[in-house]
Chain A
Amino acid sequence: EPEVTQTPSHQVTQMGQEVILRCVPISNHLYFYWYRQILGQKVEFLVSFYNNEISEKSEIFDDQFSVERPDGSNFTLKIRSTKLEDSAMYFCASSDADRGITPLHFGNGTRLTVT
């Protein structure tokens, strides 16, 4: 069964550094998402992406965050200047239709640790 793959599985970075989290969604999917989960807290929506542009974003997704689909297969999340509170598990997801009916397929996540 097709999978969403995320790399790396664990990223350690220093505060203030830029990080790029990478995702390869399922190939025929059209909708792409990033969620994050701070340890012990809820899984939170960050951003959704469709037709090469952001379709919705949360309050968490401020100017430090950006997403890109650079080559038709990868979907990346960039954090320009990481803060300690960005430490979390980041999940990429994709879907082939309007998500109100069709479920999301999630990757295994990237654990980001900011020191």
Chain B
Amino acid sequence: GNSVTQMEGPVTLSEEAFLTINCTYTATGYPSLFWYVQYPGEGLQLLLKATKADDKGSNKGFEATYRKETTSFHLEKGSVQVSDSAVYFCAPAQGGSEKLVFGKGTKLTVNP
């Protein structure tokens, strides 16, 4: 089945710093790839997605590119804000399968 390895946290950055959270996956075929975010006290929310190789998902200044050759989907943001403090989850999914496979999550804290 699918599996995912996500960068260990926690990550602490200053406001306006550059962010990268690494994610690599193993999967049968070519899964759709998702990043979910969990803000304090809230549920998981979709941040961005990519459904095929070389697609770039983007939202709220975050980006991730579907890299088939390296089976990766790293999350980046050029300038983080305090409000980006949250836990970020990488999750591949297989079309026709009922399961999202989540990484452990990476906790990001952005200090002013």
Interface residues of A (CB under 8 A from B): 4, 6, 31, 33, 35, 41-45, 48, 55-56, 58, 91, 93, 98-101, 103-109
Contacts and interface: CB of A to CB of B under 8 A. Distances in A.
B99 interface: yes
A109 B43 contact: yes
A107 to B, nearest CB: 5
Interface stretch (B14-22, B70-78, B87-95): B87-95
Contacts, number: 62
Nearest to B36: A106
A93 B100 CA distance: 11
A48 B99 contact: yes
B74 to A, nearest CB: 19
A42 B8 CA distance: 12
A41 B104 contact: yes
A43 to B, nearest CB: 4
For the complex of A and B, list the 3 residue pairs with the smallest distance between their C-beta atoms, beginning with the closest. Answer: A100-B95, A48-B98, A43-B102
Interface size class of B (residues with CB under 8 A): 20 to 34
Interface string B35-75: 01000011111100101000000000000000000000000
Contacts of A105: 46
Given A48-B98, A106-B43, A106-B44, A99 B103 contact: no
B59 to A, nearest CB: 11
Contact of A100 (B41, B94, B103): B94
A100 B31 contact: yes
Given A91-B43, A100-B32, A103-B34, A45 B49 contact: no
B86 interface: no
A45 B99 CA distance: 7
Contacts of A103: 34, 46, 49
Contacts of A107: 43
Given A42-B104, A45-B101, A98 B44 contact: no
